[in-house]
Amino acid sequence: MLPRMLLPSRLLLLVFIVATVSFRSSRAQAPTVPSASNDKNPVLFGTDIDVDGAAPSKGSELGLVKAEEKPSKSSDKKKREGEFAAAPIPIVNPTIGNGAGGGVLYARKIGGSEDTSPASAFGGGGLGTGNGSWALGAGARMYLKNDRYRISVAVGGGKFNYNYFGEGNTAGNAAKSIPLSQRSKGFLIEPKMRIFRDWYLGPRYHIISNDVTLNDPNLNPTQLPVPLPGDLQLRTAALGIRVQRDTSDSPYYQHTGSVFDTLVDFFGAGVGGQRNYQNVTISYSKYLSFGPKNVLAIRGSMCMVTNQAPFYDVCMLGIAKDLRGYQIGQYRDDRMLVGQTEFRRELFWRVGAVAFAGAGAVAHDWGDFSNSEPQPGGGVGLRLLLAKKNHINLRIDYAWGHDSTATYVGIGEAF
């Protein structure tokens, strides 16, 4: 629910998605933080932010309407009316504890009457938990000029109290941790342009300040079960590039199509940071429809960072869009491979249900995966339709992993 920016980065995502804080909505009339991101479903602790989710690639290719078939001004106005999705959200999170939050999202087409762009989304939210964690954020995803341009922007900040287990599979399996408190605030902007058919390309920039401390005055820093990590006070900033091929039918609740997403970030002092390193994330999501009420969603992703990445920006299991059922960061390292599938079913009235399963592994290098035991994860969930026109759901998932369980509540689908 809150993970790579979980701590700092996805914090921006917290913006869009409030409990997972990835405002990934489900099926929009015309269509992705958040959340994105990406929900990075949110990612709370790192700077690999993702506030962009799947979106339709429909644009001017949709064709022309004959003059006599043009809708009247009144029908066009009705079609373009905005829609709110808002809800109080209980927080039941294995990473930052239990509490409450709330989020609101407004979806509306913002182009002219002939613009075939999906509905743009504007959202904000906040949360607080019993262990002292809190977050506030706001963001927008805009679709312009017959979906030729897509712009994501997010800003947020908060305090996150969580357990640090160390890095690598051995540390994750040992399940020994120390309590950390991380204060973060950041900003992200990502404009993209359709360059050919379903392909989008654009730059991205984000900057995040992080201040991490040991969250227990009674602990002796020299006698900890897990060594205190470095980079406790660090500002990270990256200028990157994003490439997407998007054939999905909606950025909110996809029924068909796929999204291939490649993200490369170059962190460095030259763009406002204090550390030089790189991050690469590649994912592929496929959506298959079986009748009007059944969807099978499949996602695979990989992540890699260079050796100078701080501990909150390495690859982490536990982010909802990749694998549910674990505390975020219990398994973290410089490389990650994850696969997940989810079956979605609309039941009756505004109620739906899902079942999901997946597995993931982390390693220090690609050659180490042969010795890395994959961690399983799966669960079931309920959906309550908050906004019928744009099919924006309240998501409630119960997941289990290897010797762990977790409950997630948020706005929008996990991926």
Residues 45 and 2: beta-carbon distance below 8 Å: yes
Domain count, the chain: 1
Residue 320 DSSP label: T
More confident site: 177 or 91:
177
Q: What is the CATH number of the domain that holds 291?
A: 2.40.160.50
pLDDT given for residue 409 in this prediction: 82
pLDDT given for residue 301 in this prediction: 97
Residue 143 lies in a domain: yes
pLDDT given for residue 72 in this prediction: 52
Q: Give the C-alpha separation, 248 to 160, whole Å.
A: 34
Residue 73 lies in a domain: no
pLDDT given for residue 328 in this prediction: 86
pLDDT given for residue 27 in this prediction: 35
pLDDT given for residue 307 in this prediction: 87
Residue 70 lies in a domain: no
pLDDT given for residue 45 in this prediction: 41
Residues with Cβ < 8 Å from 184, sequence gap 6 or more? 5, 7, 8, 9, 11, 157, 158, 159, 160, 208, 209, 210, 211
Closest CA to 1 of 357, 142, 11: 11
Q: Give the C-alpha separation, 160 to 140, whole Å.
A: 23
Count CB atoms within 10 A of the CB of residue 373. 12
Write down the number of H helices and E strands in the chain.
3, 18
**If you average pLDDT over residues 393-402, what whole number do you get?**
90
Q: What is the pTM of this model?
A: 0.80
Residues 102 and 89: beta-carbon distance below 8 Å: yes
Residue 309 lies in domain: 11-60+82-219+230-411
Phi-psi region of 271 (alpha: psi -120 to 50; beta: other; left: phi over 0): alpha
More confident site: 34 or 364:
364
**Tens digit of each residue's pLDDT (9 = 90 or more) over 129-156:** 999 999 999 999 999 999 999 999 999 9
pLDDT given for residue 79 in this prediction: 54
Q: Give the C-alpha separation, 100 to 133, whole Å.
A: 11
Closest CA to 305 of 226, 242, 238, 374: 238
DSSP 174-236: HT--EEEEEEEEEEEEEEEEEEETTEEEEEEEEEEEEEEEES-TTS-TTS-SSPPPS-SEEEE
pLDDT given for residue 77 in this prediction: 56
**Tens digit of each residue's pLDDT (9 = 90 or more) over 318-373:** 887 889 988 888 999 999 999 999 999 999 999 999 999 999 999 999 999 988 88
What percent of the chain shows pLDDT beyond 90? 57
Count CB atoms within 10 A of the CB of residue 394. 22
pLDDT given for residue 261 in this prediction: 98
Element (H, E) at 410: strand 404-411
Q: How far apart are the first and last CA of the chain?
A: 12
pLDDT given for residue 4 in this prediction: 41
Residue 68 lies in a domain: no
Residues 105 and 84: beta-carbon distance below 8 Å: yes
Residue 325 lies in a domain: yes
Q: Give the C-alpha separation, 360 to 372, whole Å.
A: 10
Residue 16 DSSP label: H
Element (H, E) at 169: helix 169-174
Residues 170 and 161: beta-carbon distance below 8 Å: no
Residue 45 DSSP label: B
Residue 5 lies in a domain: no
**If you average pLDDT over residues 196-214, what whole number do you get?**
97
Element (H, E) at 347: strand 335-348
Cα–Cα distances in angstroms (integers) from residue 350 to residues 74, 79, 104, in the given order: 28, 21, 18
What percent of the chain shows pLDDT beyond 70? 81
Residue 370 lies in a domain: yes
Residues 218 and 211: beta-carbon distance below 8 Å: no
Residue 6 lies in a domain: no
